[in-house]
Amino acid sequence: MTKEEVEKKRAQERQVVHEIIAVYCRHHHNDRGEDGFCAECRDLAAYADLRLERCPRMAEKTFCSACPIHCYKPEMREKIRTVMRYGGPRMLLYHPMMTLRHMFLTWKAEKNGKLGKTGQGRTV
């Protein structure tokens, strides 16, 4: 994978994560700002960005949800899992192609046994 491709993937994953958090926020929180996030979800999105920015496995892994390394701290991991569980399926409505691709890659990683037992840590 070239550096360019890695960066493209990073940007793509960031987009997916932001979209899902935005959907969750829209349906759960009222005090949203112009960017579509409330303070809590903005924090979560910023945290996800930071993790993606520092991810050393961007070239090998498919998405964070299909990665055996869980680099999120427990508190944030719990939050992002809740958000993904809610927003993941709904992404199919809004961005079917993006979501299907994501789901396929996650499924493929699981099939290859890269996720460990029973897909622990799986988000979407």
Distance of CA 71 to the CA centre of its chain: 12
Considering only 10, 12, 36, 38, the residue that binds Zn ion (CB under 5 A) is: 38
Q: In angstroms, rounded to a whole number, what is the distance separating the alpha carbons of residues 10 and 62?
A: 10
Q: In angstroms, rounded to a whole number, what is the distance separating the alpha carbons of residues 37 and 92?
A: 20
Considering only 16, 22, 23, 25, the residue that binds Zn ion (CB under 5 A) is: 25
Between 29 and 73, CB nearer to Zn ion: 29
DSSP character at residue 43: H
- 8 Å CB contact between 23 and 17: no
Between 28 and 114, CB nearer to Zn ion: 28
Between 9 and 79, CB nearer to Zn ion: 79
Taking the complex as a whole, the smallest distance from the CB of residue 80 to Zn ion amounts, in Å, to 13
Considering only 16, 17, 23, 41, the residue that binds Zn ion (CB under 5 A) is: 41
